[in-house]
Chains A and B, each alone.
Chain A
Amino acid sequence: MAGFDVVADRRQVRRHIGLTGQFAAVDDLQTGEENLRMMGRLAGLPGREARRRATELLERFDLAEAGRRTVATWSGGMRRRLDLAAGLVGRPSVVFLDEPSTGLDPRSRQAVWEVVTELTGSGVTVFLTTQYLEEADRLADRVAVLDGGRVVADGTPARLKEQVAGQRLDLVLADAAAFEEVARLLGGRVARRDRGRLTIGVATDGSAAQVRALLDEVDPARWAVDRFAVHRATLDDVFLALTGHPAEQPDHDHENEQGKEPANV
């Protein structure tokens, strides 16, 4: 970890990491500024430096105005931003974020994304877990997909998408009977299904030959498919293809790891 042995150099490791969990790990009865200053002192900064760092982080996270009020009076999104700031006080080189954007308002989520991008831009390794595959796609250089506690795939988002299928063919079916029939024919190959819109998605490489073959296969009589569209695959499609169940199910976690320097975890 960051070039240190996690057992022998435990203290050095702790000095080089920043951790932010799902629940705000700050004192409600201290002000935002006091919380950050305390973390700075604990990270080994001298008093004046800790004060400067606290001011700097409050400004960066758009908390300067609230900085002198106790955290008990803050909104949930503000607390999460403060928590994130607290994890960065000691200028860690590896940052762990456990579902940093879960339950955040759009403004705070945007702030989290900006911070992650900045961190990776400056050479910090960010290790973040998320349930939102869109977030992973947007932020990560390298994604590991976890299913039932096992890594089922690992690579850049683009590579993962190619690995599974570059594109997704969405078929809009004529009626419910056609929908059932095509779903049955495709079986495990169905990447996405939307009964309300009579739409079934299936992985494809996007070539005319394959699309034609697929259409012939599912609809030899040429009546079941009304329209079709080809989309670039999303990480949702990758997840589905890899795990055989939709990403919305609660029993999966999705983890992505990113940074200019790959983390040696």
Chain B
Amino acid sequence: MSSIGRHLDRSSAGWGTVPPAGWAVVADWSTMAGRCLRLTRRNLDAILTSLALPVMLLLLFVYLFGGAIQTGTRYVTYVVPGVLLLCAGFGASMTAVSVTNDMTGGVIDRFRSMDVAGASVLAGHVAASVVRNLASTVLVFGVAFLIGFRPSAGPLDWAAAAGLLLLFILAISWLAAAVGLLARSPEAAGGFSFLIMFLPYPSSAFVPIDTMPAWLHGFADNQPVTPVIETLRGLLLGTPVGASPWRAVAWCLGILVASVAVSGVLFRRRTA
């Protein structure tokens, strides 16, 4: 009986005082990330998409298309970075859909009525997105090893490659959050996957750019996915990278900063 209304003991319980904003935001953020991961785990479609599809894509490219594509190396070795970015695209579209679901559902109203930092809601989605993507990345690497992927990278190269992948995943996860805020329905947010998943194709991910028609070279050379692919390939296989790492990092940071800023504005507008 008294359990519900026992509000008068708040001061003695010690959590009546407001913790410092910084700490509270981190606590809210980890709660939100836990929530998003739990929701992912309960969603069988999401698990299949984020884990099975990348592996299927890898096998598809290596065994169905790979025989016909000449890249100068074993195709599995050539294609792994491309498949990784393709997966990140899938992961991002899932993030966009779950952000839209939240914004159009009732639960966001409850968060708004509580002392919860708005940023932690989005950052929770992004954190879950990064975790999902890392899981699928590890899986793709594992399967790639099984079917003959033999990179020549040393520990430093691996660390650098992992860092760049993480940065790319983080950047497009925030981009996905922004798209999720922009979309008015989960279906619309899902359409975003089409755009992001298409981006690796006109790049050096699956076939060398010089095999494409000349008019496509300008786009393929200068779009964000190409420098990321070239850098990953360089780090893992020891091929020359030129200016690609700088361009890759610049693209990722640019997308990240712009997406965080845009989502901040959109979130305030949607919840105003």
Tell me the A residues contacting B by CB distance below 8 Å.
11-12, 14-15, 17-19, 21, 23-27, 29-30, 34, 38-39, 41-46, 49, 56-57, 60, 70, 86-88, 90-93, 115, 118-119, 121-124
Show 29 residue pairs from A and B whose CB-CB distance is below 8 angstroms, ordered by the A residue.
A14-B115, A15-B18, A15-B115, A17-B113, A18-B113, A19-B109, A19-B110, A25-B105, A25-B108, A27-B107, A34-B38, A38-B31, A38-B35, A39-B110, A42-B31, A42-B111, A43-B114, A43-B115, A44-B24, A56-B3, A60-B4, A91-B6, A91-B10, A93-B7, A115-B4, A121-B5, A122-B2, A123-B5, A123-B8
Q: What A residues does B4 contact at CB under 8 A? A: 57, 60, 88, 115, 118-119, 122
Question: A122, B39: Cβ atoms under 8 Å?
Answer: no
Q: What A residues does B35 contact at CB under 8 A? A: 27, 30, 38
Q: What A residues does B108 contact at CB under 8 A? A: 25
Complex: A49 Cα to B16 Cα, angstroms: 13
Question: B42 on the interface (CB 8 Å rule)?
Answer: yes
Question: B1 on the interface (CB 8 Å rule)?
Answer: yes
With A42-B116, A123-B7 as known contacts, state yes or no: A26 contacts B107, CB within 8 Å: yes
Question: A118, B114: Cβ atoms under 8 Å?
Answer: no
Question: A45, B7: Cβ atoms under 8 Å?
Answer: no
Question: B43 on the interface (CB 8 Å rule)?
Answer: yes
Q: What A residues does B2 contact at CB under 8 A? A: 118, 122
B28: contacting residue among A27, A42, A70, CB under 8 A: A42
Question: A92, B7: Cβ atoms under 8 Å?
Answer: yes
Q: What A residues does B116 contact at CB under 8 A? A: 42
Majority secondary structure of chain B interface residues (helix, strand, loop or mixed)? helix
B6: contacting residue among A86, A115, A122, CB under 8 A: A122
Complex: A92 Cα to B35 Cα, angstroms: 23
Closest 4 CB pairs of A and B: A122-B5, A25-B110, A19-B113, A25-B106
What's the nearest-Cβ distance from chain B to residue A96, in Å?
8
What's the nearest-Cβ distance from chain A to residue B40, in Å?
9
Complex: A21 Cα to B107 Cα, angstroms: 10
A60: contacting residue among B3, B19, B113, CB under 8 A: B3
Question: B15 on the interface (CB 8 Å rule)?
Answer: yes
A14: contacting residue among B42, B106, B113, CB under 8 A: B113
Question: B143 on the interface (CB 8 Å rule)?
Answer: no
Question: B257 on the interface (CB 8 Å rule)?
Answer: no
Q: What B residues does A91 contact at CB under 8 A? A: 5-7, 10
Question: B69 on the interface (CB 8 Å rule)?
Answer: no
Complex: A55 Cα to B108 Cα, angstroms: 23
Contact with A along B213-230 (1 / 0, CB 8 A): 000000000000000000
Question: B5, A118: Cβ atoms under 8 Å?
Answer: yes
Question: B47 on the interface (CB 8 Å rule)?
Answer: no
What's the nearest-Cβ distance from chain B to residue A121, in Å?
7
Q: What A residues does B115 contact at CB under 8 A? A: 11, 14-15, 42-44
Complex: A15 Cα to B1 Cα, angstroms: 22
Determine the residue in chain B with the shortest Cβ distance to A14. Answer: B115
What's the nearest-Cβ distance from chain A to residue B44, in Å?
11
Q: What B residues does A19 contact at CB under 8 A? A: 109-110, 113
Question: A29, B38: Cβ atoms under 8 Å?
Answer: yes
Question: B60 on the interface (CB 8 Å rule)?
Answer: no
Determine the residue in chain A with the shortest Cβ distance to B13. Answer: A49
What's the nearest-Cβ distance from chain A to residue B36, in Å?
10
Complex: A27 Cα to B5 Cα, angstroms: 24
Question: B39, A29: Cβ atoms under 8 Å?
Answer: yes
Determine the residue in chain A with the shortest Cβ distance to B3. Answer: A56
A46: contacting residue among B7, B15, B28, B39, CB under 8 A: B15
Q: What B residues does A124 contact at CB under 8 A? A: 5, 7
Q: What A residues does B28 contact at CB under 8 A? A: 41-42
Q: What B residues does A45 contact at CB under 8 A? A: 15
